[in-house]
A and B are shown apart, each in its own frame.
Chain A
């Protein structure tokens, strides 16, 4: 079972209802950043090598071409570095929060995207865990597909996906139990939130 060290129930986040109690949260697995990082390293190495040979070899042919080469190399280097930085920030802005009542997926990017999707735990019909391939099984990440009657929530690159799957199943049952009690005890009013 996933037991976060931070205090359950008190952590605030955007879209949280007052009666919800925070359970746990997670971001995507670090493997999501591996390809942008590898691409940044590879391109930097290539332009550094090209820059060394072009600048050193073009030293005797005049300063004009040398300056152009240096500017192009530095421009490409800066663009590659800033692109990775943007990828990193976007990685930090994607978050899934699970409370005792809902699953919230907050997906933002620096410039374009600002989405939030929430799904009630007691309406969830199926939770499907997927882990395919050596890398996913070795690094213990995967995907979860959370299906309700009219909603579908897909979560990819989930770290410790097995533990998350078990915890979600457990919380879903508790939420269903609370909802049934709430319906029978208070048909038109409110009931205390489920305790953990």
Chain B
């Protein structure tokens, strides 16, 4: 597949992930998120780790989809 179309697909994925993250951030205002020292079973989901998870998920989607379009088309 042409590199231009692959770039467009990549931008679409990034846009969707950004929209979902932005919605999540706006909805989570006023909520409590765990500190690293919390005893909660959800303590791994600190704000920084959630942001890293979103970035990692985006990178995962981009890698698989773009490599499939480039090398298996």
Write the residues of chain A forming the contact surface with B, with a CB cutoff of 8 angstroms.
2-6, 11, 13-15, 25-27, 29-30, 55, 67, 70, 73-74, 77-78, 81-82, 85-86, 89, 92-93, 95, 97, 106, 108-111, 114, 159-160
Residues of B within 8 A of A (CB): 13, 16-17, 20, 23-24, 27-33, 35, 37-42, 45, 50, 57, 60-61, 64-65, 68-69, 72-73
A6 touches B65 (CB 8 A): no
Contacts A14-B31, A89-B23 known; 8 new A-B pairs at CB < 8 A: A2-B39, A70-B73, A74-B68, A86-B20, A92-B45, A110-B20, A110-B27, A159-B41
B41 touches A93 (CB 8 A): no
Report whether B35 and A77 are in contact in the complex, using a CB–CB cutoff of 8 Å.
no
In the bound complex, residues from chain A placing their C-beta under 8 Å from that of B37 are 5-6
A106 CA to B28 CA, complexed, in Å: 10
Report yes or no: B27 in contact with A82, Cβ–Cβ below 8 A: no
Ranked 9 nearest A-B pairs via Cβ: A14-B30, A5-B37, A89-B24, A110-B23, A27-B42, A159-B41, A25-B32, A108-B27, A13-B32
A97, B32: Cβ atoms closer than 8 Å: yes
Residues of B within 8 A of A3 (CB): 39
Chain A residue with the shortest CB-CB distance to B50: A92
Tell me the smallest distance from the CB of A69 to a CB of chain B, in Å.
10
Contacts A74-B65, A78-B13; A14 near B27 (Cβ below 8 A): no
Check A93–B28 contact: CB distance below 8 A.
yes
Instruction: Kindly list chain A residues whose C-beta atoms are within 8 Å of the C-beta of B60.
Output: 81
Distance in Å: Cβ of B67 to nearest Cβ of chain A? 11
Taking CB atoms, residues of chain A closer than 8 Å to B23 are 89, 110-111
Cα A25 to Cα B45 in complex, Å, equals 14
Q: Are A6 and B38 in contact, CB atoms less than 8 angstroms apart?
A: yes
Please name all residues of chain A whose beta carbon is closer than 8 Å to the beta carbon of B35 when the two chains form the complex: 5-6
State whether B64 touches A30 (Cβ < 8 A).
no
Whether A110 lies near B31 (C-beta < 8 A) is no
Could you give 18 example pairs across A and B, Cβ below 8 Å?
A5-B39, A13-B31, A14-B30, A26-B40, A26-B42, A29-B41, A30-B41, A74-B69, A81-B60, A82-B16, A82-B20, A85-B17, A85-B20, A89-B20, A106-B31, A108-B28, A110-B23, A110-B27
Nearest neighbor of B36 in chain A, beta-carbon distance: A5
